[in-house]
């Protein structure tokens, strides 16, 4: 018995970190599915209805949600999953456009604030205040104004995504630009470096880990912004509309709503995944190479 456990942990340790991570994620997903189905099974066999009624409308089987994806949206229509994938592309376009614009604005504000205390004092309160206004209250206004100046609908939605994106990026950029060691700044001073050299050679590289943390938060926020923005825009093509339609038809087609939620989650995960890939590329990670570290220590002792 103990032998078996030891062998198992041994094998687990032998797997690559990547495989271990993937297996853990799969484990979490499976556990959640299992919990959902167990709840359904136990509650319905005992006749319990609280906190949630375990019937097939409120809590459809997980496999039914997945099967629903491969049924036509309506009689003679496309498969639901195809419809949702097309919608995902629309929503992603709004989110990505808003994310890029919002990210650039956020970065620009961070740079402005680190350069000028005056600008920080003048504008920061408004930047913070902008985030205390509920997005749902602003979205219709943006859409109306966007229409008035002839902006395509998807761009108006992108503006809402940008609105949610810029804030975390601005705050974290500012923090990151202020993160270098004071001695590093003094060295720059001793080289008589001009401000732009200090910014690009020292401050921005130091800020990258902070900025990418913000971008990961913003990636999900941009998707939320796009979904929410689609509603008052009356935008027919995106995932937001699908969510709205299927939630109105919940009593008869709850499986469609759940299936859509799964696709929305997948879109969010995909977006964050892309940002994480970019982070791996641009932010060098300290690998802790124990064996080589020891080797170097020996080499230095010898030399």
Partner 1 sequence: MRVVDAKGVGKTFGTGSESVEALRDINLTIDPGEFISLIGPSGCGKSTLLRLVGDLTGPTSGELSINGKPASQARSNRDYGIVFQKATLLDWRTVKKNVELPLEIMDIEDSAAADEMLDLVQLGDFKEHYPWQLSGGMQQRVAIARALTFNPSLLLMDEPFGALDEMTREQMQQEVLRIWDETETTVVFVTHSIPEAVFLSTRIVVMSPRPGQISDVIETGLDHPRDVETRESPEYYRKVTEVREALRRQEGHG
Using CB under 8 A, pick the residue from 201, 270, 273, 277 that binds partner 1.
201
Q: Which of these segments, 42-50, 89-97, 262-270, 284-292, binds partner 1 (CB under 8 A)? A: 284-292
- Does the protein bind partner 1 through residue 278 (CB under 8 A)? no
- Does the protein bind partner 1 through residue 195 (CB under 8 A)? no
The Cα–Cα gap between 257 and 263 comes to: 10
- Does the protein bind partner 1 through residue 191 (CB under 8 A)? yes
- Does the protein bind partner 1 through residue 291 (CB under 8 A)? no
The Cα–Cα gap between 147 and 58 comes to: 38
**3-state SS of 77-135?**
CCEHHHHHHHHHHHHHHHHHHHHHHHHHHHHHHHHHHHHCHHHHHHHHHHHHHHHHCCH
**Closest to 272 (Cα-Cα) out of 104, 92, 134, 33:** 92
- Does the protein bind partner 1 through residue 56 (CB under 8 A)? no
- Does the protein bind partner 1 through residue 281 (CB under 8 A)? no
∠ at Cα 205 (178, 295), nearest 5°? 115
The Cα–Cα gap between 239 and 257 comes to: 11
Nearer to partner 1, 61 or 175 (CB): 175
Q: Which of these segments, 114-122, 129-137, 155-163, 295-303, binds partner 1 (CB under 8 A)? A: 295-303
The token pair at 58 is 């409120």
- Does the protein bind partner 1 through residue 300 (CB under 8 A)? yes
> How many residues bind partner 1, per CB under 8 A?
25
- Does the protein bind partner 1 through residue 296 (CB under 8 A)? yes
The token pair at 7 is 């062998």
**How many residues are listed for the chain in this entry?**
303
- Does the protein bind partner 1 through residue 197 (CB under 8 A)? yes
- Does the protein bind partner 1 through residue 302 (CB under 8 A)? no
Nearer to partner 1, 10 or 291 (CB): 291
192: left (phi over 0), alpha (psi -120 to 50) or beta: left
Using CB under 8 A, pick the residue from 186, 236, 265, 269 that binds partner 1.
186
Nearer to partner 1, 21 or 189 (CB): 189
The Cα–Cα gap between 203 and 182 comes to: 11
Residues that bind partner 1 (CB under 8 A): 181, 183-184, 186-193, 197, 201-202, 205, 284, 286, 289, 292-293, 296-297, 299-300, 303
């Amino acid at each position: 018995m103990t032998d078996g456990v030891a062998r198992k942990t041994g094998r687990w340790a032998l797997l690559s970190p990547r495989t271990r991570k993937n297996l853990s994620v799969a484990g979490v997903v499976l556990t959640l599915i299992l919990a959902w189905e167990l709840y359904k099974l136990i509650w319905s066999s005992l006749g319990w209805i609280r906190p949630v009624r375990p019937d097939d409308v409120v809590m459809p089987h997980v496999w039914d949600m997945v099967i629903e994806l491969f049924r036509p949206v309506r009689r003679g229509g496309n498969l639901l999953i195809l419809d949702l994938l097309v919608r995902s592309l629309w929503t992603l376009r709004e989110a990505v456009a808003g994310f890029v614009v919002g990210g650039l604005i956020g970065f620009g504000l961070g740079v402005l604030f680190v350069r000028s205390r005056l600008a920080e004092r003048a504008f920061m309160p408004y930047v913070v205040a902008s985030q205390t206004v509920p997005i749902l209250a602003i979205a219709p206004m943006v859409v109306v104004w966007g229409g008035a100046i002839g902006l395509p609908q998807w761009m108006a939605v992108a503006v809402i995504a940008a609105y949610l994106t810029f804030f975390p990026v601005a705050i974290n950029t500012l923090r990151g630009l202020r993160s270098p060691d004071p001695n590093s700044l003094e060295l720059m001073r001793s080289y008589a470096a001009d401000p732009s050299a200090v910014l690009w050679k020292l401050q921005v590289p130091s800020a990258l880990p902070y900025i990418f943390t913000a971008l990961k938060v913003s990636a999900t926020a941009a998707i939320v912004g796009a979904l929410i923005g689609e509603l008052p825009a009356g935008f027919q093509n995106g995932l937001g509309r699908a969510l709205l339609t299927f939630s109105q038809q919940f009593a008869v087609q709850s499986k469609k709503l759940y299936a859509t939620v799964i696709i929305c989650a997948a879109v969010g995960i995909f977006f964050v995944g892309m940002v994480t890939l970019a982070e791996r590329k641009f932010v060098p990670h300290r690998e802790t190479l124990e064996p080589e570290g020891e080797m170097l220590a020996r080499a230095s002792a010898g030399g």
